[in-house]
């Protein structure tokens, strides 16, 4: 974990096990209904903390979305490469069989 706000890095996969209250959905649920302007009027420090938290969640959510899209794209590329290799091997086998048949007829 991190000990300071500045140590938090929202990019990349997280391998640690998190308790329920440490997860984004839980935090987002707690932040529902908070008005940033009213919070700033109440306390500037809490307003800044709220803005930092919202920004960190947005960045983290976008990182998760981008990594998921990248993983899906890589999976599609892999499937296409496997199918292309299979088609290439079938064509190669067919050409080989034709060449062998031609050679045997001679």
86-96 average pLDDT score: 95
What is the predicted pLDDT for the residue at 77?
97
Span 45-69, pLDDT tens digits? 999 999 999 998 899 889 989 999 9
Span 1-25, pLDDT tens digits? 556 767 776 777 777 776 665 678 8
The predicted model scores a pTM of 0.60
- DSSP secondary structure letters along 60-106: HHHHHHHHHHHHHHHHHHHHHHHHHHHHHHHHHHHHHHHHHHHHHH-
Backbone angles phi, psi at 35, to 5 degrees: -95, 120
Q: How confident is the model at residue 90 (pLDDT cuts 50, 70, 90)?
A: very high
What is the predicted pLDDT for the residue at 81?
97
What is the predicted pLDDT for the residue at 46?
93
What is the predicted pLDDT for the residue at 99?
92
What is the predicted pLDDT for the residue at 3?
63
């Amino acid at each position: 974990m991190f000990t300071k706000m500045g140590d938090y890095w929202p990019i990349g996969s997280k391998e640690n096990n998190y308790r329920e209250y440490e997860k984004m959905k839980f935090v987002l649920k707690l932040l529902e209904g908070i008005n940033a302007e009213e919070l700033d009027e109440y306390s500037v420090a809490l307003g800044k903390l709220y803005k930092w938290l919202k920004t960190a969640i947005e960045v983290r959510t976008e990182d998760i979305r981008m990594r998921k899209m990248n993983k899906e794209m890589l999976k599609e590329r892999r499937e296409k490469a496997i199918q292309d290799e299979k088609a290439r091997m079938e064509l190669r086998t067919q050409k080989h069989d034709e060449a062998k048949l031609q050679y045997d007829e001679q």
